[in-house]
Structure 1
Amino acid sequence: MPIRREHRFFYPIDWPQLSAVIRFRRAKGRCESCGRPHGQTVWHLGDGRWWDAQAASWRDGVGRVICLAVGEDDVLGSVRTTRVVLAAAHRNHDTADNRDVNLMAVCQRCHMNHDRPEHQRRRWRTLFRRKALGDLFNGVYPPSSSS
């Protein structure tokens, strides 16, 4: 995932090389969380289950081989495709901690799941700040009409 311009100074100057070592040398081009292969287009069901063409089987969101129940899942009606792109992520969300044990190679889905609590915290903070600025400059909000 691209690094935002305002966050670039938190990362070391050799981050692209460090990230490549983690993603391709250590993880061998596969997500360390679910096993999806980098650069491949995979079929998935939207809930974490995906088709591993190399193993010719369905896998769940953490990479375990699963069997789909015949007739219970409308697989053909819900199959989507996505191109997998690996990124190097910090396990403890500290961009200054670049030890091998703190870095992991993850696909977009696993990266978003890993960062979800941080994204929710930032979203809450942004909304809280907007509302506070509105209170400061616009006065009290009118009562909501949906009661």
Structure 2
Amino acid sequence: MPCDYSQYPADWKERRNRVLARAGQMLDDKGSIFREATCEHCGVPNHEVIYRRKDDRLKWRYPNGCDLGEDDSDYRPTSVVLTIAHLDRTGPPGPNDGPLDCPDDRLAALCQSCHLYLDRERHQAKARATRLAKQGALPLFA
């Protein structure tokens, strides 16, 4: 989902880098990553190619990791992408939203699966509002 970075604080890149460092990302002297961060909820490394169950995106395994005793055709490969989650913006969108300008301890480096799970109510509410707006029943979120 695209982000409107104009809504974020001016020092967002620095905050993002601090959160990734807390999650284990390490840079060499030239600024290149030599150790990837890991999801602060499930521990999967950033950019790792993993296999997710086709029917349950929250279950995953490494390609050479533990055998879950299931046919490999139940899994599909995917690359992990860590994003920075706002821990106070998890409910439906509206006047009670937490701020985008929040301290580092209210941010977390999460894989796409954990981030989507954290924000599930928010995504469900926006999808519901979009469907109703298309039917002419409610205005779309601003």
> What TM-score, normalized to structure 1?
0.67
- Look up the match of 2:94: none
Alignment partner of 1:114 is 2:118 = yes
Deviation at 1:123, TM superposition (A): 1.5
Q: Which has the higher helix share?
A: 1
Structure 2 residues not aligned, in runs of 5+ = 25-36, 90-97
Alignment of 1:1-147 (within 5 A): 2-4=2-4, 8-23=5-20, 25-28=21-24, 29-46=37-54, 47=56, 48-52=58-62, 56-57=65-66, 68=68, 70=69, 73-74=70-71, 76-93=72-89, 94-132=98-136
Aligned residues: 116
Counterpart residue identity of residue 3, structure 1: C
**Are the structure 2 counterparts of residues 133 and 49 from structure 1 closer, same or farther at C-alpha, using a change threshold of 3 Å?**
closer
Matching residue's letter, 1:51: R
Give the gaps of 5 or more residues in structure 1: 59-67, 135-147
User: How far, CA to CA, are the matches of 1:52 and 1:35 in structure 2?
Assistant: 12
Relative distance call for 1:50 and 1:12 in structure 2 (3 A) is same
Report the AA paired with residue 12 of structure 2. Answer: W
Q: Deviation digits for residues 41-75 of structure 1, max 9, x if unmatched?
A: 11222322222468x436xxxxxxxxx3x4xx32x
CA radius of gyration, larger in:
1
Give the structure with the higher percent strand: 2
Normalization by structure 2: what TM-score?
0.69
Give, in whole Å, the separation in 1 of the partners of 2:84 and 2:99. Answer: 11
